[in-house]
Chains A and B, each alone.
Chain A
């Protein structure tokens, strides 16, 4: 039984564990992505900060050499300034020195220096730009020259490409990425273990179910966490119903077999008597008895089949909306009775408006038919009355007859299935009604009509009724 897991079991295990793991992995991945982006932004800022300082330093070195000679701005670009920027050995370097009147003193003329909005001053200004198809970082510093004929701010702009910064940014980002990845992986492993532990009760339930003998329908036991409790309760309730159903079937089959065996034996005896009959009178008598017997067996078989039907439907949903008045009308048609032969009248006492109950139409029809047949065959002297009313406690359907009735002592006895009392096989009919009543949450009870007729009533709960 538990040697090989069936495909269904494997699929169920896959979905729970891997779905949780997948969700966790997604969350971790998103977190790692966000952290990486944050690290990248930080690294870029840090790299820019470091290299911007070099850039401004170089610009200031050049600024120190700015002078005015005879009204002309001159600059002696120190090689050390550019050497500072050449340390990385990768970046290109550009510079431009502009006189107060805007004339370019020396350097790259097309360099996109700071926009005019930027005010000259003692503070350095750094910005991003593009030059010669490359991203550059451009720093400008200003130096105030006060000489005859050349007074004002001289702008010194120095730029470099971003290669070294990008390399540093990448290095810093990768440096941060590694711990992030390691932490994410660790978290994933730990959480996977946690999920596995968390799902262990489910696996225990599964294993317990697998190990179980197919005939064992007792409730599952053992400690279960709150989240799984509902599942266990549901399983146990299901097994309880299954167990009840199986028990009922088993009992039914046993009794049905027993019930059929006796009349069949009787028929066999009647057939033998028919064979032995010497004269016509004896033969007629035997034939009449045989006919009576076979009729009885036929009715019994019908009842057994009816009961089987009810039994199968006993626990289905009470889905139909049923008018008890129609049920009463139908019952007279359904009933297997010969009113003329018995000289009986069947009356119906029905209200004018529909009396709705919720229930299973087939089962209720069987129940009412059995009540009617029961009254006709085993009690009624001259009349049978079918009454439908809406009582205070709920809808009610009752079948009365003017027969002797059933004593309270016999009543309890009769509700137990298949008991044959003095009413012959009547017990079976009432047992069917009792089963149907229970399935509908209705009560089955004795009711005495005002005219003294004995009756059996199906009393439905008020909340089972429909408006």
Chain B
């Protein structure tokens, strides 16, 4: 970690002001012979340890890493695909529906990784799109302000909490604004697919005047500050990062079921440097890469117990009932505009967000 921090300190940071696209160059630690271009929608903080870890195995590679909004990455990748142009060597996005669409449209190229067997089947589609992280949607509470008996372990418990203690929790519960957050939309969509509790939960949020925010970070800030007490469907990795740094947070993997998303990477079909791109994918899936992902980037991992200070259904084994978002063409549905409009309308109705 010391090494990576030192390395990050040396980074040249280039900002592209108009789009909010930020490019970072990780100079090759050894004699540079090639460059790998990564277009991503993922926080640099989370990805940097993986890039540095990769450069340990490939010191001759300079990596140009650009971070943009998911929609921008998707649009650029789609354009490059239809124009048959080189866009990047690797595309990474947490909007796995974008990744699924790119793959379905033949915009990704196949890579037979020797480590493809190490990740679960749901995180690998056609050996073209690879999920490499394990990110549960969690409930987060302020551990100083929420008494242990109030801590909700299931969705039903949260509904009950909001119903029985409006005086405490009205206006002090927060979740993603799914109209502005891709990952929030995915979590909500698959939550709704999974059970009818979600409908009642939304009604509860509506009655309690839930606070909506576009990022997990925003909500975590407010929970830390005490403005909010409970957050729902937040990214477990971000929350745990705060927790590790001493924030007064508690994290619950919902015991009824926990939605899991895997950030995915693919090699665009017209990538210039496909060999090194393949090596990077191999690293992400390799035990070494998975260790870094679970240790420094995302804190959760495939087939690993959750960190010890996370409340899971079974602390020892982490045998929480995970419901992964399967990387497959069924994700096309989440991109269907009519479907999306309908879902958002229902969501807005339930939350009463016309206010």
| A binding-site residues for B, Cβ under 8 Å | 74-79, 82-83, 85-86, 89-95, 105-107, 132-134
Contacts and interface: CB of A to CB of B under 8 A. Distances in A.
Given A79-B193, A79-B333, A86-B330, A93 B104 contact: yes
Nearest to A65: B339
A86 B329 contact: yes
A92 B105 CA distance: 8
Given A83-B326, A106-B339, 19 more contacts: A74-B338, A77-B338, A77-B339, A78-B333, A79-B193, A79-B334, A82-B332, A82-B333, A83-B328, A86-B326, A86-B329, A86-B330, A89-B328, A92-B104, A92-B105, A93-B332, A95-B332, A105-B338, A132-B105
A158 to B, nearest CB: 11
B328 A94 contact: no
A28 to B, nearest CB: 38
Interface in B335-355: 336-339, 342
Interface centre among A76, A89, A105, A106 (most CB of B within 10 A): A89
Nearest to A90: B126
A72 to B, nearest CB: 10
22 contacts: A76-B338, A77-B333, A77-B339, A79-B333, A83-B326, A83-B330, A86-B328, A86-B329, A86-B330, A89-B121, A89-B126, A89-B328, A90-B126, A92-B103, A92-B105, A92-B106, A106-B336, A106-B337, A106-B339, A132-B105, A132-B106, A134-B106
Contacts of B322: none
Contacts of B330: 79, 82-83, 85-86
A69 to B, nearest CB: 10
B125 interface: yes
Nearest to A160: B329
Contacts of A95: 332
A94 B329 CA distance: 8
Contacts of B337: 106
Interface in B115-131: 121, 125-126
Interface residues of B, number: 20
A156 to B, nearest CB: 13
A138 to B, nearest CB: 15
A76 B337 CA distance: 10
Closest 7 CB pairs of A and B: A93-B329, A82-B330, A86-B328, A83-B330, A79-B333, A132-B106, A92-B104
Nearest to B105: A132
Contacts of B106: 92, 132-134
Nearest to A93: B329
Interface in B294-352: 326, 328-330, 332-334, 336-339, 342
A86 B328 CA distance: 6
B328 A76 contact: no
Contacts of B336: 77, 106-107
Contact of A92 (B329, B333, B334, B339): B329
Interface in B268-289: none
B119 to A, nearest CB: 13
A307 B55 CA distance: 109
A76 to B, nearest CB: 6
A92 B103 CA distance: 8
A381 to B, nearest CB: 118
A106 B336 CA distance: 7
A365 B28 CA distance: 111
Nearest to A91: B329
Contacts of A105: 338
A160 B105 CA distance: 12
Contacts of A83: 326, 328, 330
Contacts of B338: 74-77, 105-106
B136 to A, nearest CB: 20
Contacts of A82: 328-330, 332-333
Nearest to B189: A79
Contacts of B333: 77-79, 82
B339 A89 contact: no
A134 B105 CA distance: 10
Nearest to B338: A106
Contacts of A133: 106
A79 B342 CA distance: 14
Nearest to B124: A89
Contacts of A134: 106
Nearest to B330: A82
A89 B105 contact: no
Contacts of B104: 92-94
A91 B104 CA distance: 8
A75 B342 CA distance: 10
A79 B103 CA distance: 18
A95 B329 CA distance: 11
A76 B329 contact: no
A461 B104 CA distance: 97
Contacts of A74: 338, 342
B88 to A, nearest CB: 20
Contacts of A94: 104
